[in-house]
Chains A and B, each alone.
Chain A
Amino acid sequence: MLDNGFPLATESNILKELIKPPTILRTVVNTITGSTNVGDQLPTGQLSVVPWRRTGVKYTNNEAYFDVIEEIDAIIDKSGSTITAEIQGVIDACVKLTGMPDLTLSFMNPRLLDDVSFHPCVRFKRWESERILSFIPPDGNFRLLSYHVSAQNLVAIPVYVKHNISFRDSSSLGRFEITVGPKQTMGKTIEGVTVSSQMPRGVLNMSLTPSQGTHTFDPVTKMLSWDVGKINPQKLPSLKGTMSLQAGASKPDENPTINLQFKIQQLAISGLKVNRLDMYGEKYKPFKGIKYMTKAGKFQVRT
């Protein structure tokens, strides 16, 4: 919400108070009763000392869930060596707690976190002195913290890609072959693997056969994407075939880079572990949950 071009309210809690986010139920109710999503109460949240939290929150099930999600940004060399790799992590929270709870979250190994940025609710001094996150959480979903594990630390790269992409000057056919395999996964399976690659302009079409999953090639945008799914270490997924090149055109100078997406559940690749979550200020016992996940961020393999 802006006033004369100056931001007046950007906190989602206040905005939600003004206009309730649409839900299916509410849409149904609205059509029947003729009411709207516009809140009929004045947005008192703007006046609060903790503007990010509504007052008078009530839940029957008090629960607090935290997702530690880490993304690996990496550039892998042609030869498979890591050029740069860093971990960008976030802790997303879904907190549904009655009243004004005061939470503290502590880590087993907070020293890992190199550079941190907080939701305004986090008490900075406490973090500085004790490396404990102490905060009155906003209601609902929010990003508590995002952090960075620097490139100085060695990052375990969980996947490797073997590739053999070659164009020949004379013929109008090129060879294409990639294999994806697990590497340093701490015993977890790698899921949701997708491989995409922007092929050079000279490539007219590709005829490929995947050992698993499905693949598509868009001849207009020259985008190849291969949805691999899970990686089975016993039988590594591979995509093989030929590329047909524009006749007469010289071979492209560059091999395409391969972008990789994957997910590993229940693993924070940096080794970050939440130690405990405590609640003060309210009497009840909340249900607490922590989930870890590692994803590929900007994961690129140069070929």
Chain B
Amino acid sequence: MSAAPAYSEDKGGSAGPGEPEYGHDPASGGIFSSDYKRHDDLKEMLDTNKDSLKLEAMKRIVAMIARGKNASDLFPAVVKNVACKNIEVKKLVYVYLVRYAEEQQDLALLSISTFQRGLKDPNQLIRASALRVLSSIRVPIIVPIMMLAIKEAASDMSPYVRKTAAHAIPKLYSLDSDQKDQLIEVIEKLLADKTTLVAGSVVMAFEEVCPERIDLIHKNYRKLCNLLIDVEEWGQVVIISMLTRYARTQFLSPTQNESLLEENPEKAFYGSEEDEAKGPGSEAAASSALPARKPYVMDPDHRLLLRNTKPLLQSRSAAVVMAVAQLYFHLAPKAEVGVIAKALVRLLRSHSEVQYVVLQNVATMSIKRRGMFEPYLKSFYIRSTDPTQIKILKLEVLTNLANETNIPTVLREFQTYIRSMDKDFVAATIQAIGRCATNIGRVRDTCLNGLVQLLSNRDELVVAESVVVIKKLLQMQPAQHGEIIKHLAKLTDNIQVPMARASILWLIGEYCEHVPRIAPDVLRKMAKSFTAEEDIVKLQVINLAAKLYLTNSKQTKLLTQYVLSLAKYDQNYDIRDRARFTRQLIVPSEQGGALSRHAKKLFLAPKPAPVLESSFKDRDHFQLGSLSHLLNAKATGYQELPDWPEEAPDPSVRNVEEEDLSLIETHVGLLGEYTKVPEWTKCSNREKRKEKEKPFYSDSEGESGPTESADSDPESESESDSKSSSESGSGESSSESDNKDQDEDGEKGRSSESEHSEEEGKKRKMKKRKKVPEGQEGGSSSDEGSDSSSSSSESEMTSETEEEQVEPASWRKKTPPSSKSAPAAKEISLLDLEDFTPPSVQPVSPPMAVSTSLAADLEGLTLTDSPLVPSLLSPVLGVGRQELLHRVAGEGLAVDYTFSRQPFSGDPHMVSVHIHFSNSSDTPIKGLHVGAPKLPAGISIQEFPEIESLAPGESATAVMGINFCDSTQAANFQLCTQTRQFYVSIQPPVGELMAPVFMSENEFKKEQGKLMGMNEITEKLTLPDTCRSDHVVVQKVTATANLGRVPCGTSDEYRFAGRTLTSGSLVLLTLDAQPAGAAQLTVNSEKMVIGTMLVKDVVQALTQ
């Protein structure tokens, strides 16, 4: 046993790199050197009870494996130890197993039971590693066991185990591809996982196993987009590249209509504007007049992807940045691709390998979108220390970026490169100059002169390359450059590089009429040295001879014949063939010679100038950043990037159930972008114009429920038909929405797809919900208003505000629209439900159902009580008159509203609002009614009966009911007169969303006991002197909130109770006043948001 440390030394030493081969196998060099006893020592060590010895043995064995030695005969001895308690030994045994199990399948089976036990271990890490090894053992017999293990692990509690399960999927698939269907099921299940840990791995498995099953992604698309930022870097890369492919199949190309619109953007812009302004008739006409222009509107999901990947450009991982860059390149509208340039330029700072890949991609991008990298031109300047490949790629980019304005600097830069010591690079530079010269006509002469100067360079390679490039340039405009051709002709004496000589000869032959004197002389010289020339030069000599013979046969006949004779006996059969062929063509023979009559046409046909273009052109049909793009050849496993679809597939497939939506929304909150969506109310043209400057993705904002549903997909159409016909006919309403979209996007030169999905509608609802608080900024400024305005003024949300944003989502989930009973509101609520999609009803949890029914029971009570209680305890009007429409804006019509605090007769869930109209104009206002409410989900309105006429100077009052669905979101609607429509919104203070409840002190305490913890919100405040008396306190509280006072034993404690109108949740308010003015305010309510807002409002009211 004491030998163990010695072995360790031995092994440690042999691991060194310079060790001679014989020392490598410990068994051969060690104590037991004879072959038949190989590894006996190891077996012995493995059989002992001492972990340290086992460990030592295992280390040596693994070291042997690493060196490529066969250790398979130790299999039985090793596998025994799989049950070893020592984790380190276990790990090494696992390593061994993974390597040899495939070879010794029967024996490997011995170890399986250990893993199966491991799979049940309470420690998640052990479960995970057992699964990892089990799935790495490539033994076909255990496929069913693996399948079972994966399935089980896929529903494990621990996300880490689920991640391992995702990793195991491709392993099993490569072992037995028959399992595909079952594996797809597991993938589907794991795709639905909501943890960031799993997301990357499962998408990886998806890409390996079933990349064609794009349908599995639909339901998870939004979730993946939203999780993306929190997934670990490797996962991000996989997900992004998968989503790129997905987006290419599901969305319309954002650039498809650009060219069309660029032609007459004016008209498109103007036209849509006009449509909006005029009545229904003109709208219909306009939409039929422009039927061909299919308006494009970016799918909100498409936008979501772009928005959520953008921050990842700031990732420290080059792979992630590259992935996002390619996503933007392939998916983003032209105007937005630019953002990736900066990040890509940053990557150029890293290692030359990364640089190489990035530059390849930049080279491809810079061809298509030159403007993107132009500001970074100088970042591509070449340093002498760059490796040659990098230099050449940078050169490529510089060439692509060169344009009229920057060409002087680029050329100056090129001039320094030409003097480089790196000759390959110099050659590439000369090519680059040639390309610049062809692309930019203005500098062609400068370039040509520069290149001609290079002809006197001492380096032959430089000269040769220049000649080749000059040849190409001259082909474009030979007439003006006789001098240069002469100069080149002189060079034939010096230049030895065959390619250059051949080029010169070709040039002289081609343009022999420009140099009639010199050409025959050159031929003479070449004929002299013909035998010594390279093949390529010889061919050109024959060519030259033929051309000269045709143009100037007097002088060159003999020479040509001489050359042809020489060529006839050349070693190379190409040359012999060419000679024979040429001779037949040009020398008129006795028989016919049909061809020779056309010889001139054959040889001296005008030839188009070559197009010098980048080798990176058209590379972008490979997905950028992929290996295939790098190699410019399809690599195995490469998934083609599909083309954009002609017609967008049904976007509603990405709809997820309400529950998931709320989750997503929390993540959206994390990303914090929805909130900045600007307020968009349907309003006058002037305002609309302003609206156009708003961010593009506010597109779907402000569409009202009815309009959306009218043009949504077929399933919903039947339901919405009745609705839309009641409005103004379905066709009209759909065209209206289109026009609106166009209008918003008009500036971007994009147009909208005609179909809006239900789920888009839902999205809008979400956005609307978020943005609603902004609406109150102008009107009543409650506390919550300041919150939301801060988040809206900031373009990005901070982590603190995010919580606030999360809350409404969960809150809404609990309060499904419940106003179905209201007969007049039915139309609207029906639509709301539809927008919500059917599952919206599902998340009503059972306890909620109970509470609502309970609330319904109690409502009878509150109904009878409430007229009593307020009259006793609270002033009738909670909040004073608020302005709905100012006299000036309303063109004489002034509208105010008050919350009457009377129960609304039609529907107990509704807040009754008294609306006071007064006509200060000098004409009567006719037909006052509510039109086209645009309501967030759940909110419904009971309209007031139409007011026929309002004479000048007269006033009228109407009562309308609004079910705010226990939220302080504004109810937006139109106030229509016969001639005008005004957009107005009513925003309830939180205190108006409840009705008083009468209860005893005991009841109060009991209920309060139930609503502790999270449901309790406490705030300390100091009561001002003016606000110490009972009366004042009670009055202030009841003025703020529609609550009923609960009798109380102690004098300095005030209790109030109420129920929210829609859901009937209890709201209990306790104010505990100390003598010195200090006080503590406690609100208990299931609705935490309401509670929080109420506390704020009450504190404000009391301390004012």
Task: State yes or no: do A and B come from one complex.
Answer: yes
Q: Which residues of A contact B (CB under 8 A)?
A: 3-4, 6-8, 10-11, 34, 36, 38, 40, 42-44, 46-47, 51, 73, 75, 83-84, 86, 88, 114-120, 123-126, 128-130, 134, 143, 146, 148, 151-152, 198, 200-201, 250, 252-255, 257, 259, 298, 300, 302
A83 to B419, CA, bound (A): 17
Question: Given A10-B233, A118-B316, A300-B383, is A126 in contact with B799 using a C-beta cutoff of 8 Å?
Answer: yes
A125 to B170, CA, bound (A): 36
Residue in B closest to A47 when the chains form the complex, CB atoms: B160
Contact of A128 among B381, B458, B796 (CB under 8 A): B796
B796 and A151 contacting across the interface, CB-CB below 8 Å: no
B796 and A125 contacting across the interface, CB-CB below 8 Å: yes
A117 to B320, CA, bound (A): 11
A254 and B420 contacting across the interface, CB-CB below 8 Å: yes
A46 to B794, CA, bound (A): 35
B125 and A120 contacting across the interface, CB-CB below 8 Å: no
Question: Given A38-B88, A42-B123, A298-B385, is A120 in contact with B316 using a C-beta cutoff of 8 Å?
Answer: yes
Q: Please give, as numbers and ranges, the residues of chain B lying within 8 Å of A114 by CB-CB distance.
A: 342
Judge whether B232 is part of the interface by a CB distance below 8 angstroms: yes
6 closest residue pairs by CB, A with B:
A84-B378, A128-B796, A254-B419, A7-B234, A257-B384, A42-B125
- Minimum CB–CB distance from B423 to chain A (whole Å) comes to 10
16 A-B pairs in the complex with CB atoms less than 8 angstroms apart: A3-B164, A4-B167, A6-B201, A10-B234, A40-B87, A42-B125, A46-B125, A115-B342, A119-B316, A129-B796, A130-B798, A198-B421, A253-B457, A253-B458, A255-B419, A300-B383
Judge whether B509 is part of the interface by a CB distance below 8 angstroms: no
A42 to B670, CA, bound (A): 32
Interface flags, B156-184, vs A, CB<8A=1, else 0: 00111000100100110000000000000
Known A115-B343, A125-B796, A129-B796; further 5 A-B contacts with Cβ < 8 A: A6-B204, A42-B126, A125-B797, A254-B420, A254-B421
A115 to B87, CA, bound (A): 46
Judge whether B314 is part of the interface by a CB distance below 8 angstroms: yes
- Minimum CB–CB distance from B166 to chain A (whole Å) comes to 9
Residue in A closest to B376 when the chains form the complex, CB atoms: A151
Q: Please give, as numbers and ranges, the residues of chain A lying within 8 Å of B909 by CB-CB distance.
A: none
B420 and A300 contacting across the interface, CB-CB below 8 Å: no
A75 to B379, CA, bound (A): 10
Contact of B379 among A4, A119, A151 (CB under 8 A): A151
Q: Identify the interface centre among B234, B421, B670: most chain A CB within 10 Å of its CB.
A: B421
Judge whether B346 is part of the interface by a CB distance below 8 angstroms: yes
A11 to B170, CA, bound (A): 23
Question: Given A3-B132, A253-B459, A254-B420, is A83 in contact with B381 using a C-beta cutoff of 8 Å?
Answer: yes
B385 and A259 contacting across the interface, CB-CB below 8 Å: yes
Question: Range of interface residues on chain B?
Answer: 35 or more
Q: Please give, as numbers and ranges, the residues of chain B lying within 8 Å of A255 by CB-CB distance.
A: 419
Contact of A124 among B171, B314, B416, B459 (CB under 8 A): B314
Interface flags, B780-806, vs A, CB<8A=1, else 0: 000000000000001111110010000
A43 to B124, CA, bound (A): 11
A118 and B314 contacting across the interface, CB-CB below 8 Å: yes
Q: Please give, as numbers and ranges, the residues of chain A lying within 8 Å of B311 by CB-CB distance.
A: 124, 128
Q: Please give, as numbers and ranges, the residues of chain A lying within 8 Å of B458 by CB-CB distance.
A: 250, 253
A129 and B797 contacting across the interface, CB-CB below 8 Å: yes
Residue in A closest to B458 when the chains form the complex, CB atoms: A250
Interface flags, B295-317, vs A, CB<8A=1, else 0: 00000000000000001001110
Q: Which residues of B contact A (CB under 8 A)?
A: 5, 52, 87-88, 91, 123-126, 132, 136, 158-160, 164, 167, 170-171, 201, 204, 229, 232-234, 311, 314-316, 321, 342-343, 345-346, 349, 375-376, 378-379, 381, 383-385, 413, 416, 419-421, 457-459, 670-672, 794-799, 802
Question: Given A125-B799, A148-B346, is A43 in contact with B316 using a C-beta cutoff of 8 Å?
Answer: no
Interface of A is mostly: mixed
A88 and B349 contacting across the interface, CB-CB below 8 Å: yes
B229 and A124 contacting across the interface, CB-CB below 8 Å: yes
Q: Please give, as numbers and ranges, the residues of chain A lying within 8 Å of B799 by CB-CB distance.
A: 123, 125-126, 134
Q: Identify the interface centre among B378, B413, B457: most chain A CB within 10 Å of its CB.
A: B378
Residue in B closest to A297 when the chains form the complex, CB atoms: B349
- Minimum CB–CB distance from B760 to chain A (whole Å) comes to 26
- Minimum CB–CB distance from A166 to chain B (whole Å) comes to 14
A47 to B68, CA, bound (A): 34
- Minimum CB–CB distance from B234 to chain A (whole Å) comes to 4
A200 to B419, CA, bound (A): 11
Residue in A closest to B412 when the chains form the complex, CB atoms: A83
Question: Given A43-B125, A259-B385, is A6 in contact with B314 using a C-beta cutoff of 8 Å?
Answer: no
Contact of B798 among A7, A73, A129, A298 (CB under 8 A): A129
Residue in B closest to A71 when the chains form the complex, CB atoms: B349
Residue in A closest to B791 when the chains form the complex, CB atoms: A129
B794 and A129 contacting across the interface, CB-CB below 8 Å: yes
A40 to B51, CA, bound (A): 13
Residue in A closest to B420 when the chains form the complex, CB atoms: A254
Residue in B closest to A144 when the chains form the complex, CB atoms: B316
Contact of B383 among A10, A120, A298 (CB under 8 A): A298
Contact of B671 among A4, A36, A115, A125 (CB under 8 A): A125
Question: Given A125-B798, A129-B794, is A120 in contact with B346 using a C-beta cutoff of 8 Å?
Answer: no
Q: Please give, as numbers and ranges, the residues of chain B lying within 8 Å of A252 by CB-CB distance.
A: 421
Contact of B88 among A36, A124, A143 (CB under 8 A): A36
Q: Identify the interface centre among A88, A120, A152: most chain B CB within 10 Å of its CB.
A: A120
Q: Please give, as numbers and ranges, the residues of chain A lying within 8 Å of B132 by CB-CB distance.
A: 3
A4 and B171 contacting across the interface, CB-CB below 8 Å: yes
A298 to B350, CA, bound (A): 12
Contact of B346 among A7, A47, A117 (CB under 8 A): A117
A130 to B790, CA, bound (A): 13
A75 to B458, CA, bound (A): 27
- Minimum CB–CB distance from A266 to chain B (whole Å) comes to 24
A117 to B158, CA, bound (A): 32
A116 and B160 contacting across the interface, CB-CB below 8 Å: no
A115 and B346 contacting across the interface, CB-CB below 8 Å: yes
B5 and A34 contacting across the interface, CB-CB below 8 Å: yes
- Minimum CB–CB distance from A69 to chain B (whole Å) comes to 13
A125 to B346, CA, bound (A): 21
Q: Please give, as numbers and ranges, the residues of chain A lying within 8 Å of B125 by CB-CB distance.
A: 42-44, 46-47
A201 and B671 contacting across the interface, CB-CB below 8 Å: no
A86 and B379 contacting across the interface, CB-CB below 8 Å: yes
Q: Please give, as numbers and ranges, the residues of chain A lying within 8 Å of B376 by CB-CB distance.
A: 151
Q: Please give, as numbers and ranges, the residues of chain A lying within 8 Å of B232 by CB-CB distance.
A: 11, 51, 120
A257 to B416, CA, bound (A): 11
A6 and B379 contacting across the interface, CB-CB below 8 Å: no
A198 to B385, CA, bound (A): 9
Residue in A closest to B314 when the chains form the complex, CB atoms: A117
Q: Please give, as numbers and ranges, the residues of chain A lying within 8 Å of B343 by CB-CB distance.
A: 115, 117
Q: Please give, as numbers and ranges, the residues of chain A lying within 8 Å of B321 by CB-CB distance.
A: 117
A302 and B416 contacting across the interface, CB-CB below 8 Å: yes
- Minimum CB–CB distance from B380 to chain A (whole Å) comes to 9
Contact of A125 among B88, B158, B201, B672 (CB under 8 A): B672
Residue in B closest to A255 when the chains form the complex, CB atoms: B419
- Minimum CB–CB distance from B60 to chain A (whole Å) comes to 14
- Minimum CB–CB distance from A29 to chain B (whole Å) comes to 15
Q: Please give, as numbers and ranges, the residues of chain A lying within 8 Å of B87 by CB-CB distance.
A: 40, 42
A47 to B672, CA, bound (A): 26
- Minimum CB–CB distance from B250 to chain A (whole Å) comes to 26
A46 to B132, CA, bound (A): 15
Residue in A closest to B673 when the chains form the complex, CB atoms: A125
A89 to B125, CA, bound (A): 39
A148 to B311, CA, bound (A): 16
Residue in B closest to A86 when the chains form the complex, CB atoms: B379
Residue in B closest to A152 when the chains form the complex, CB atoms: B375
A301 to B419, CA, bound (A): 15
- Minimum CB–CB distance from A278 to chain B (whole Å) comes to 15
A291 to B798, CA, bound (A): 29
Q: Please give, as numbers and ranges, the residues of chain A lying within 8 Å of B670 by CB-CB distance.
A: 125
A7 to B91, CA, bound (A): 19
Contact of B167 among A6, A10, A300 (CB under 8 A): A6
Q: Please give, as numbers and ranges, the residues of chain B lying within 8 Å of A73 by CB-CB distance.
A: 349
